[in-house]
Structure 1
Amino acid sequence: MFRHQKQLQFEVKVERPDPMLARQIQEILGGQFGEMTVMMQYLFQGFNCRGEEKYKDMLMDIGTEEIGHVEMLCSLISQLMDGASPAAQAEAAKDPAMAAIMGGINPQHLIVSGLGALPTSSTGVPWSGAYIVASGNLLADMRSNLHAESQGRLQVARLYHMTTDEGVRATLRKMLARDRYHQYQWMAAIAELEEKNGVVVPASFPAEAELEAQPQAYAFWNLSEGVESASGPWAAGNAPDGSGEFVYIDEPLPEGQAPVAKVPAPELHHDLDSSKVLINK
Structure 2
Amino acid sequence: MDQVLVQPKSYPTNLLQKDWSKRKLTERCGQAFVDRVHDMEVRDDDVWIVTLPKCGTTWMQELLWLVMNDFDFEAARNEHLEVRTPFLEFDYVINNDLDLALAPVEALKSPRLIKSHMSLPLLPQQLWTKKPKLIYVYRNPKDYIVSQYYHVRSLGFCMNTTLAEFALEFIEEDRAVPSEDFEHVTEFYELRNEPWIYYTSFERMKLNLRQVIEDICKFLNKTISEAQMQQMLLHLSFEQMKKNPKLNHHWEFEQLRAKFKTEYEDNNFVRRGKAGGYKDELSADIIAKLDDMIQRNLDHCDLSLNELLLLDDKAVL
Is the TM-score greater than 0.5? Answer: no
- Is the radius of gyration larger for structure 1 or structure 2? 1
Answer 1 or 2: higher relative contact order, Cα 8 Å, separation at least 6: 2
TM-score, scaled relative to structure 1 = 0.22
